[in-house]
Structure 1
Amino acid sequence: MTTLDNAAGLEDADGLADVADLTRSRFRTAAPSAGGALPRIPRDQLPPGPRWPALVQTIALMRLRHWFHPWLQRRYGDVYTVHLIPQSRPLVMVTRPEHTKEVFSGDPEQFHAGKGNAILGPIMGQHSLLLQDSIDHKRARKLLMPPFNGAALREYEQMISDLARAEVDRWSDGDTFRSLDRMNAVTLEVILQVVFGVSDEQRLAALRPRVNATVDISPTVLLGWGYPFLQRFGVWKRTVDNQYELDRLMYAEIRERREAPDLAERGDVLSRLIRVGQEAAAEGRPEDALSDVELRDQLVTLLLAGHETTATALAWTLHELGRHPELHARSVAAARRDGVDAAEGDAWLDAVLKEALRLHPVIPMVVRTLQAPATIAGYDLPAGTTVGPSIVVTHQRSELYPDPEVFRPDRFLGQNPPPNTWIPFGGGARRCIGAGFSLMEGVAVLREVLTRFDVEAVGEDEPKVRNITSVPRRGARIRVRARA
């Protein structure tokens, strides 16, 4: 019997008896309130903002972000403050690229991203790249880089194309469906097979519902991490129980993979990370090997950062192409490489994806917490203030993107946008390590879809908030027609 087969029972002979303790410890040490009370910052030291109770502002920021961000900018100007639970913590938002540059170029020792992402701690874990700062972040980023370099991305591309083709094979002429659901199915398989390296169907069947339950949670659950007593009740308890089950499966997979006889030949991200650690240990650098807990935290980070975000970008892309026949025809030609070479075709599909990410941002903001006083956008902000650019507002500024409400991929064709104006992956030293992977994956999936099917949008759609991301409220419904 394999380790994973035993994962359902903690008391076993394969070393999983400690997993419940590891999960319990993470909930205790990575909770947003674990850092203790912060000094209160007087409002007169901060940019203007609403004076509503912190709970009301938090709910508005998380549930109504697509209305709240633009309203704040119209009401208070290009720099504004909201106060969030717990402890009425101030969040200063900037919306102009020159101010965004001040945040992204700030000294990483003073501009901590990890503390600003603390609400994700109980799920991702304290070793997550998104939650680490200073020397710990530098170490983790260096160790995670090899599986995301250019050579590795080229190796993943064929695996992703095969998974996308398997999904498209299930479609029939005239089918109408929520493209978000189908794209989520594809990107989930990419995470499980290309990142986690799981291919056995029994194991995939065990992981899929646990992963989906981790991703598909409401902002209410995230808010609950600030109040640990809630974890004994209702939706919060179900989320906690799911985490215990997912951890059992993931730790079993990690521990078994370390002993896999074919580890050297495997091309998935987890196997590559384990090999990097083994090579470092063999060279006398054991500190450069990721522990089981570190691997678990980084894999969950890649899951949350790369699964639903990429799926959402793809769903919006297909819906927009289905609304614009000219752009659709051009994208089909690019996918089929009719009259263009492979590089030109992929460049157009890449531009289409980037425009979808601009017009429909999946993440609303990028944040840093000041460890020392700093001047941002002309304001002298005290230590303890969290500051960051609003992606929602930045991507809609008409001086940066003329006719910002129009879907226009040519904005990104053959040119990069001006610095700090297109920021779906953040920026500076903390720019998302998986940005290249996400765009490569998106292009590969679009190529498979558009080679086989024409796409027609069914109805209109608008964003809604799900966990920390924004997704199409009606799932970006499309109708597909088989191409001759």
Structure 2
Amino acid sequence: MSKPVHMLRKWAERYGDIFRIEMAGFGEFVVVSAPEHVRQVCVASPDVLRSGEGNAPLVPFLGKHSVVVLDGAAHARARRLLVPPFHGDRMRAYAEIMRDVTLASIAKWPRDRPFPIQARMDEIALTNMLRTVVGITDSRAIAPFAERFLATIRTVESPVFLLAGYGGLDLFRSVPWLPASRAKRSNDRGFYDEIARRRALGPGEKGTDVLSLLIEARDENGEPLTDDELRDELVTLIAAGYETTADALAWAFEQLLVNPPILERATQEVHDTVGPGGVLLPEHLGRLEYLDAVINESLRIRPVVPLFSRKAAVPFEVGGYDVSPGMIITPCTVLTHFRPEVYPDPYTFRPERFLGKKPDPYAWLPFGAGGRRCLGMPFALYEMKVVLATVLLRAHLTLAEPPSAIQVVRKNILLMPSTGVKVTFRERHLARASAAQNVCSTTN
């Protein structure tokens, strides 16, 4: 589907809350969007509806130990080990890294000419992942590591590799002389080398990054994660987290820039909280309630992932519709988020919907829902808040193209802005720009 959102909405208008799509080579999909049906799907037993099986085509890249391809007890074990680094005080340790990475990027933004902000968000998000998840502290090592990772992921995104994956074929192994296979081997060596280096550190030398915490983690039987498990989970966390967050940030800037009163209110909140010429600190973030609402509403009106899926292992019924084993049930984010009975005037950007209230877990689905909801959700929301607050504090942005020029386009399973959201940039105040440069100089 070249225009997936348009087609899904057209089918929903014609066929109602539940409808079936048959895609040659991919199977039968039952699409649901009403929150009560989403809930039915997401609370179903993993023995009835399986998520990992539906992600099997990703095994050649992510690895067989990745949390997204596992089901049952193996998935539960992996999730228990992966969740702690993304919660509580752990997140505060990442705030200053995320801020400094953002400031270093701002220092290099073009002056006096438009540029797509999405490309800058890609750079920020991937660097943040390599710094906080993999724990790479040497700035000289970031670029080659990122290069290897991007070379591999670009291959995986190609139709040839995706179709091979659906057919159960691992082209990386079966055709080892391909440039893509060599790129993956180089990428994997980088991860294994970093794992080995980190294991060799003494108890007092380990950091607070996710890899360090996972090396120390133990399951209920006292068993640690193996090197292969660590590699697979690191690749999964970065692959699932960096581009989705970058796209979500680009969409957030788009929505702010086409809604000046909302931009002004969000900017004022950040400046009032941090203070004149101040530097964003972890303790400021909890006070930015309006920015939280902006992020939640942006993820509602511009979801990056349009749907998620569960594969029926046994007969299942949802909303009176019978689902046969082997069929895939698809809660559809881009339909649920625009139901007028849930979100009145759904096509209007209105952060007040979420001010002082938490989103309904079965009506707000940017990270999925239920037991398979993205475990990186707290990390992604935190990162979005740090990056947005830092930019609003240091930069004055204006949209450099008509809003109508920015279309929702599909890149594999993600929805991204067609133009990358072109903006122009100028520093807000000389004093603040100087403070930003001072902080940036410490990160290089």
Same fold at TM > 0.5: yes
Question: Contact (CA 8 Å) 1:113, 1:369: kept in 2 or not?
Answer: yes
**Who is 2:375 aligned against?**
433
**Who is 1:457 aligned against?**
399
- Counterparts of 1:397-416 in structure 2 under 5 Å? 397-416=339-358
Gapped regions of structure 2 (runs ≥ 5): 276-282, 430-444
Question: Contact (CA 8 Å) 1:462, 1:474: kept in 2 or not?
Answer: yes
Check 1:192–1:230 CA distance in 2 against 1; reply closer, same or farther (3 A cut): closer
The one-letter code sitting in structure 2 at the alignment partner of 1:401 is Y
Question: Contact (CA 8 Å) 1:184, 1:308: kept in 2 or not?
Answer: yes
The one-letter code sitting in structure 2 at the alignment partner of 1:364 is P
**Who is 1:442 aligned against?**
384
**Shift of residue 239, structure 1, vs aligned partner:** 3.8
Q: Are residues 1:361 and 2:299 paired?
A: no
Alignment counterpart, residue 223 of structure 1, candidates 163, 167, 180: 163
Question: Contact (CA 8 Å) 1:216, 1:467: kept in 2 or not?
Answer: no
**Shift of residue 264, structure 1, vs aligned partner:** 4.5
Question: Contact (CA 8 Å) 1:222, 1:467: kept in 2 or not?
Answer: no
Alignment counterpart, residue 85 of structure 2, candidates 147, 150, 169: 147
**Cα deviation digits, residues 433-461 of structure 1 (max 9, x gap):** 11011000110001110101122122231
- Counterparts of 1:294-333 in structure 2 under 5 Å? 294-333=229-268
Question: Contact (CA 8 Å) 2:18, 2:31: kept in 1 or not?
Answer: yes
Q: Are residues 1:69 and 2:8 paired?
A: yes
The one-letter code sitting in structure 2 at the alignment partner of 1:194 is T
**Shift of residue 214, structure 1, vs aligned partner:** 3.8
Aligned counterparts of 2:252 and 2:132: Cα–Cα separation in 1: 23
The one-letter code sitting in structure 2 at the alignment partner of 1:184 is D
Check 1:455–1:202 CA distance in 2 against 1; reply closer, same or farther (3 A cut): closer
Aligned counterparts of 1:422 and 1:81: Cα–Cα separation in 2: 22
Instruction: Give the TM-score taking structure 2 as reference length.
Output: 0.87
- Counterparts of 1:466-477 in structure 2 under 5 Å? 466-477=411-422
Check 1:248–1:435 CA distance in 2 against 1; reply closer, same or farther (3 A cut): same
Where 1:81 maps in the other structure, the secondary structure is strand
The one-letter code sitting in structure 2 at the alignment partner of 1:325 is P
Q: Which moved more, 1:198-207 or 1:321-330?
A: 198-207
**Who is 1:378 aligned against?**
320
Q: Which moved more, 1:147-156 or 1:193-202?
A: 193-202
Q: Are residues 1:483 and 2:428 paired?
A: yes
- Counterparts of 1:230-379 in structure 2 under 5 Å? 237-261=178-202, 264-277=205-218, 285-287=221-223, 289-337=224-272, 342=284, 345-379=287-321
Aligned counterparts of 2:170 and 2:330: Cα–Cα separation in 1: 30
Q: Percent identity?
A: 36
Where 1:130 maps in the other structure, the secondary structure is helix
The one-letter code sitting in structure 2 at the alignment partner of 1:435 is M
**Cα deviation digits, residues 212-241 of structure 1 (max 9, x gap):** 23444646242342354977999x954433
Where 1:326 maps in the other structure, the secondary structure is helix
**Cα deviation digits, residues 370-413 of structure 1 (max 9, x gap):** 11211112112222221121111111212221222211111111
Q: CA RMSD in A?
A: 2.5
**Who is 1:3 aligned against?**
none
- Equivalenced residue count is 415
**Cα deviation digits, residues 116-166 of structure 1 (max 9, x gap):** 222322221121111111100110011112211211011111221111111
Check 1:251–1:231 CA distance in 2 against 1; reply closer, same or farther (3 A cut): closer
Check 1:344–1:129 CA distance in 2 against 1; reply closer, same or farther (3 A cut): closer
Question: Contact (CA 8 Å) 1:168, 1:448: kept in 2 or not?
Answer: no
Check 1:219–1:422 CA distance in 2 against 1; reply closer, same or farther (3 A cut): farther
Where 2:75 maps in the other structure, the secondary structure is helix
Question: Contact (CA 8 Å) 2:56, 2:166: kept in 1 or not?
Answer: no
Aligned counterparts of 1:215 and 1:458: Cα–Cα separation in 2: 30
Aligned counterparts of 1:158 and 1:313: Cα–Cα separation in 2: 21
**Cα deviation digits, residues 335-375 of structure 1 (max 9, x gap):** 21259994675221121111111111111111111112111
The one-letter code sitting in structure 2 at the alignment partner of 1:333 is Q
Aligned counterparts of 1:254 and 1:472: Cα–Cα separation in 2: 36
